[in-house]
Structure 1
Amino acid sequence: MSFERIREKLNILADAAKYDVSCASSGGNRKNTNNGLGDSSAMGICHSYTEDGRCVSLLKILFTNHCIFDCAYCVTRKSNDIKRAAFKIQEVVDLTINFYRRNYIEGLFLSSGIFKNPDYTMERLIAVAKKLRLEENFNGYIHLKSIPGASDELMYEAGLYADRLSVNIEIPTISGLKLLAPDKKHEDFTKPMRKVSNEIIKYNDERKIIKTTPRYAPAGQSTQMIVGATGESDRDIMYSANHYYKAYHMKRVYYSGYIPVANDNRLPSIGSQVPVLRENRLYQTDWLMRFYGFKVEELLNSEHPNLDKDIDPKLGWALRNLDLFPVDINRADKSLLARIPGIGMQSVAKILNARQFRRLNWEHLKRIGIAINRARYFIVCDSRHWEYRDLPAEKIKGMILQHSTSKYRSLIGSQLKLFNS
């Protein structure tokens, strides 16, 4: 096949893959052995910037944008009049190796529309990974998108060659899925999730006894939800995410704002794209659940079904629970310190370490790096300067917003300009 045709396919199928955000790959640590090609280090590989500023990238493509389904929210649905293309297995292998040799990528993210049936599609994704591992001796990162409805046998084989597997749940609720993707069943998504989860547990247990046990999906599995295509509240979304974390041991749940791709009366109107700020608030809530010890019902419940757009979820929780504050920074335990607005987990560790040697005052806390503008309303320390007491929640919120210079305040302003233009 000519170079021009390959380039045309790449343009079509790379563009179609841009709607999938669940290709971050933290957790992969596949080692390069026997002078193989590529290396997925313990730092992990992802498609964006790392904390230290490094940009690491994956070749992110669809195997094909042909699809037998007609999901209202999907640009590749069968009724959409778009240009179609499909790679051959060897073409994807060759592209991956050639891009890697030129130092353009550090791994592969491969998804696909569903053509013929789920197993037929999944077999081809696995064949790409298998050729890369066994024939090209490729040790770089591979993320395969699990095809909903694929058999347990294929999901098992996929985990032997891929670092991470993911199946997008797409719509957060069963009712929403029935409305927008009536051809799909909820169990088509959860069945491969459960198979991968069970195999990861089994292999990890076996490796504790037999160190030579092969690795199975070492970077775990992830999923993605579309936010705003149906009328789910933030509470609905995060309760679903919490379920997938607990029931299927997800490494990550990703939240993708609805992007209008069709004029369908089941979807929100064109121009109602979900603000980026809502995605940010959902990710912040996710972070609090996974790393700060918050339960989902503390952050979102029947009384507070949606997140505050003006302030982050931890500050919102603190303002609703002022009876727990102020906290003595020199006495509080780790779990309570983590709940103070303006104090992250790294600062919590520094506080616990520093107070072994002396009582901390405001100057010490500033040097540790806590956000004094937020934290000062919720803590006391070994001095009385900057201490606030008995202020109502709305007053505290107003004072914090007045002095806030955070990126989220800037984001609100830019979005308002966008929507008013």
Structure 2
Amino acid sequence: MKVSERAFEKLEILADAAKYDVSCASSGSKRQNKDKGLGNASNGICHAYTEDGRCVSLLKILLTNHCIFDCAYCVSRKSNDIKRAAFTVEEVVDLTISFYRRNYIEGLFLSSGIFYNADYTMERLVRIAKKLRLEENFNGYIHLKAIPGASEELLKEAGLYADRLSVNVEMPTETGLKLVAPDKSHKDVIEPMKYLKKEIIGFKEEKKIIKSTPTFAPAGQSTQMVIGATGESDMEILGMANYFYKKMSLRRVYYSGYVPISTDNRLPAIGTPVPMIRENRLYQADWLVRLYGFNVNELVGFDLPNLDLEIDPKLGWALRNLHQFPVDVNTADLALIKRIPGIGLLSAQKIISARKFKNLQPEDLQKMGVAYNRAKFFLAKSSPFALHKDYTSEQIRQQILTLQNSKYVANFSPQMALF
């Protein structure tokens, strides 16, 4: 399949414009190849690195960077003087199949600016997914942006062909959104989210009864919040994310630090981007809420509206709640063990399994992947792990920071700090 030179020129423009949308991980779909089709969508495909270290890729593009809106934070806003382009349906299909056959990609992430209206844009996104599935027999991963304001009929059709759908809320609060995008509202995002949630649940229930029922957005839905363009606190950001998880059953909320791209008195000055560590801390807090059993109000609150940038939120909680410690890992339940700094999900499960056969020693924990130099401050004196001296919260903080800065400063990762 030959792709035209003009399509490659558009690709350069529209791939660059798509880089600001970070909500493109694809875990959760298990679409299987059939009838000698192309590709499989499986857990771990994303536009980054998987948890096991594999680098995988999606073709991540906009259908067009033309847009009828003038959102101050967006590079594609209508008042911005940039080079514009738009793919045809056939060009996107040809690029996807061509790149897949060359082993460049494992799937497609397709978003778009809004030209003419929501339905006009959404209809073209759906046509691309439908053409890939039905005409090209493509079974790889497809993530489509669900356009706020599009009809329910188009959203339903999108869910039949895409693995994941996402409706971006953009700003964490309505006040912030109105400041930088006065033509938009959170209601425009919440309504399609509600509809997609209903359809996802409905199709799953129907499939239990009728096995031939097609899958509907098997990887669920996600959203993105831009961080730092307006003045929301981490408490407001995580509160909104928690609402999406509980009320909309979202698979993921993505946090995108605002990148200054224009001079506008409503936005931070050019040259003052959001520090990446703030994104990392929000993701760590997000993982604690989704996977570790924490409540948002345990991590942030009116007396602590923003996460500590120096230490991860799990350690921060532990230092504020030393009365919960020390903990004996040989007797404590799983929920409490998961809250010990230095112990991750997998390590906690290994501890529960291994202690049935022996009284665990420090070397056992280290073999399980526990960050012992972090965890030791929170382990019970009745266990063989405890230090012989009690430390204050500030002393523990400084010792861990010293170790962290000396040992991991060159290759520090947020995942490491969360354990």
Q: What range describes the TM-score normalised by the shorter chain of this pair?
A: over 0.9
Cα distance between partner residues in 2 of 1:384 and 1:18:
50
CA distance 1:168–1:385, change in 2 (3 Å): closer
Percent sequence identity over matched residues? 66
Residue of structure 2 equivalent to 1:89: 89
What letter matches 2:24 in structure 1? Answer: C
Residue of structure 1 equivalent to 2:29: 28
CA contact 1:65–1:76 (8 Å) conserved in 2: yes
Residue of structure 1 equivalent to 2:415: none
Q: Output one character per residue of 1:336-370: Cα deviation in whole Å (capped at 9) or x when no partner.
A: 00000000011111110111112112222222221
Cα distance between partner residues in 1 of 2:186 and 2:385:
56
Please identify, of 114-123 and 386-395, the stretch whose mean Cα deviation from structure 2 is larger.
386-395
CA contact 1:362–1:381 (8 Å) conserved in 2: no
CA contact 1:377–1:389 (8 Å) conserved in 2: no
Count matched residues: 412
1:150 shift after superposition: 1.1
Cα distance between partner residues in 2 of 1:408 and 1:294:
26
CA distance 1:389–1:240, change in 2 (3 Å): farther
Structure 1 gap ranges (5+):
413-421
1:192 shift after superposition: 1.1
Residue of structure 2 equivalent to 1:10: 11
CA distance 1:198–1:408, change in 2 (3 Å): farther
Cα distance between partner residues in 2 of 1:383 and 1:166:
48
Q: Tell me, what secondary structure is at the counterpart of 1:317?
A: helix
1:273 shift after superposition: 0.2
Residue of structure 1 equivalent to 2:150: 150
Kindly indicate whether residue 98 of structure 2 is the aligned counterpart of residue 98 of structure 1: yes
Kindly indicate whether residue 224 of structure 2 is the aligned counterpart of residue 224 of structure 1: yes
CA distance 1:246–1:381, change in 2 (3 Å): same
CA contact 1:360–1:382 (8 Å) conserved in 2: no
Residue of structure 1 equivalent to 2:130: 130
Q: Output one character per residue of 1:122-143: Cα deviation in whole Å (capped at 9) or x when no partner.
A: 0000000010111111111100
CA contact 1:376–1:388 (8 Å) conserved in 2: no
CA contact 2:107–2:142 (8 Å) conserved in 1: yes
Residue of structure 2 equivalent to 1:333: 333
Q: Output one character per residue of 1:314-333: Cα deviation in whole Å (capped at 9) or x when no partner.
A: 00000000011001111110
Residue of structure 2 equivalent to 1:242: 242
Please identify, of 387-396 and 324-333, the stretch whose mean Cα deviation from structure 2 is larger.
387-396
Residue of structure 2 equivalent to 1:111: 111
Residue of structure 1 equivalent to 2:344: 344
| Structure 2 counterparts to residues 218-297 of structure 1, below 5 A | 218-297=218-297
1:101 shift after superposition: 1.0
What letter matches 1:14 in structure 2? Answer: A
CA distance 1:170–1:411, change in 2 (3 Å): farther
| Structure 2 counterparts to residues 18-57 of structure 1, below 5 A | 18-41=19-42, 43-57=43-57
1:380 shift after superposition: 2.2
1:407 shift after superposition: 8.2
Structure 2 gap ranges (5+):
413-419
Q: Tell me, what secondary structure is at the counterpart of 1:110?
A: strand
1:220 shift after superposition: 0.4
CA contact 2:326–2:381 (8 Å) conserved in 1: no
Cα distance between partner residues in 1 of 2:271 and 2:94:
40
Q: Tell me, what secondary structure is at the counterpart of 1:328?
A: coil
Cα distance between partner residues in 1 of 2:3 and 2:356:
69
Q: Tell me, what secondary structure is at the counterpart of 2:377?
A: coil
CA RMSD of aligned residues (A): 1.8
Q: Output one character per residue of 1:145-192: Cα deviation in whole Å (capped at 9) or x when no partner.
A: 111111111111110000000011100000000100001121111111
Cα distance between partner residues in 2 of 1:239 and 1:329:
31
CA contact 2:361–2:385 (8 Å) conserved in 1: no
TM-score, normalization: structure 1?
A: 0.95
Q: Tell me, what secondary structure is at the counterpart of 2:311?
A: coil
Cα distance between partner residues in 1 of 2:234 and 2:406:
22
Cα distance between partner residues in 1 of 2:376 and 2:316:
15
Residue of structure 1 equivalent to 2:417: none
CA distance 1:411–1:351, change in 2 (3 Å): closer
1:313 shift after superposition: 0.3
CA distance 1:181–1:406, change in 2 (3 Å): farther
CA contact 1:28–1:45 (8 Å) conserved in 2: no
1:262 shift after superposition: 0.8
1:408 shift after superposition: 6.9
Q: Output one character per residue of 1:284-338: Cα deviation in whole Å (capped at 9) or x when no partner.
A: 0000001000011111111111111111100000000001100111111010000
Cα distance between partner residues in 2 of 1:240 and 1:407:
35
Residue of structure 2 equivalent to 1:317: 317
1:381 shift after superposition: 6.5
Cα distance between partner residues in 1 of 2:238 and 2:389:
33
Cα distance between partner residues in 1 of 2:233 and 2:348:
32
What letter matches 2:251 in structure 1? Answer: K
